[in-house]
A = this chain, B = another copy of it.
C-alpha cells in the first residue's frame, strides 16, 4: 500500500465552477500515513469515462479514491460505473437504508426518505462506510488486493469520512507506520551556509528521520519526517533532535512546529505574550480572517475594524480629516494614523493597518489600482511600507497584501529577540 491515485468526478470542477479542495485534503491526509498520491484524474460524470479511468488508476495505484458523482440527482453515474467495472450489481443495503432513515429522521425530513432511498442501493460486493453528514454512503471495493473508495463530492462530507474512517481503516489493515512531521523555519541564512552549519547534526540523525530543505522566498523550511510504529516515540524523538539543532542556529529560527505564516505569527505572539489588532481598508477583512483562522488566536487577537467608508476612518480610528484632505486616503500618513487609532481602540501591543486600491475601479482619490500602504505598529515604534501589485485581481490582491503584512511582522518580531 504505497501509491494512491485520486479520481475527481464532476463537471462542476471541469467547468471551472468549483475549485477541487478534496484532492488537496486527501493527499495531505494520506501523506501522514506514508501513502503518496502519484496522480490525480479529474473527469466528467460519464459511465465509460469513469470505467476507463478506474482501469488506468488501478494500473498504477494500490489505492484508488474517487470523489463526486454520487447524489440524488440524475447526473450521478459513478455507482453504475463502479458496478459495471467490478462486474457487480446494485442492490439495496439494509444497514445503509437504516442509517439513511435515522439520518433523515434526525433532520425531520422523513417525508423525503423515499426519494432518497436510491442512496441505499450500492454494489453488492462493496463494504459501506456510513456518511454521518450527508446521504451518499462511501463504498469500498477490492480488486486483487487493491482497494477503491468512492466518496461523495461535498468537502465537509469527505473530510470526516477520510479522517475518521478511511485513514484509521488503512492504518490498521496494512499495519502502516506512523509518520510524524515537524517543520523548522529558518530566516537570514542562505541554504548552502545553513547546510554547512548543521552538517554534523544532520549526519547524526537517526535512520528513521529524513531531513529536507524547502526554500520559500527568503525563508528555508527544514522538514523532519520520522516514521515508525509508535506515534508517541516519534514525537519525543523529533522534539529531541530539534532541541539539539536549536543551539546551532538559534537566532535564525522563527518557528519549530508551524508552517503557514499565520501559524508562525500565532506561535510568536503566544511566546512573547503580545496582543494584536487590525485596521483594514483594501484588504476588507482578509487580514483579520487570516489571523483568526489559527486555533487559539482569541488569546492574542483582540479585534479589528474594516473602515471601508472614508468617514469611518475618521470617526472610529480618529484619522484626522486634515491628513486625509492633505495626503488622500490611500497614503502613508493615513496608514500610520489608522494603526495608531487601532492600537488605542483595541488597547493592543501591536496594530496593523492597510489602505489601498484593490480595483478593478480606481480609488476615489484617483490612486492607481494595486497601490497599498500598510503600517506595522509595535508599542510606540512603527514602520510603513508601500506595495504596488497592479497585476493581481481583487481577491488575490487582498490575500497577497495580508500575507505580506503578516510576513513582515514575523520578520520584525524574530529580529527583536
Contact = CB atoms under 8 A, between A and B. Distances in A.
A40 interface: yes
A181 to B, nearest CB: 9
B302 A288 contact: no
Contacts of A193: 112, 115
How big is the A interface, by class? 35 or more
A28 interface: yes
A179 to B, nearest CB: 11
Most chain B beta carbons < 10 A, residue from A221, A285, A309? A285
B42 A39 contact: yes
A316 to B, nearest CB: 7
Contacts of A156: 391-392, 396, 400
Nearest to A8: B40
A225 B15 CA distance: 11
A12 B212 contact: yes
A271 interface: no
Interface in A7-31: 8, 11-21, 23-31
Interface stretch (A67-75, A90-98, A250-258): A67-75
B304 A306 contact: yes
User: A interface, by DSSP: helix, strand, loop or mixed?
Assistant: mixed
A345 B361 contact: no
Given A72-B192, A286-B285, A306-B304, A26 B16 contact: yes
Contacts of A283: 289
Contact of A312 (B36, B221, B292, B346): B346
A190 interface: yes
A100 to B, nearest CB: 12
Interface string A188-211: 001111011000000000000000
Contacts of A366: none
A410 to B, nearest CB: 19
A14 B36 contact: yes
B298 A285 contact: no
A101 interface: no
Interface in A55-96: 71-75
A28 B154 CA distance: 20
Contact of A284 (B72, B73, B190, B292): B292
A132 interface: yes
A15 B30 CA distance: 9
Those 3 A-B pairs whose CB atoms lie nearest each other, nearest first:
A16-B28, A284-B292, A16-B27
24 contacts: A12-B212, A14-B38, A14-B39, A15-B28, A16-B23, A16-B27, A18-B24, A20-B24, A39-B41, A40-B40, A41-B42, A42-B42, A72-B192, A73-B213, A112-B190, A115-B196, A116-B192, A285-B285, A285-B286, A302-B308, A302-B312, A305-B305, A306-B306, A312-B346
Given A19-B21, A285-B289, 8 more contacts: A12-B212, A12-B214, A20-B24, A42-B42, A71-B191, A303-B312, A304-B306, A305-B305
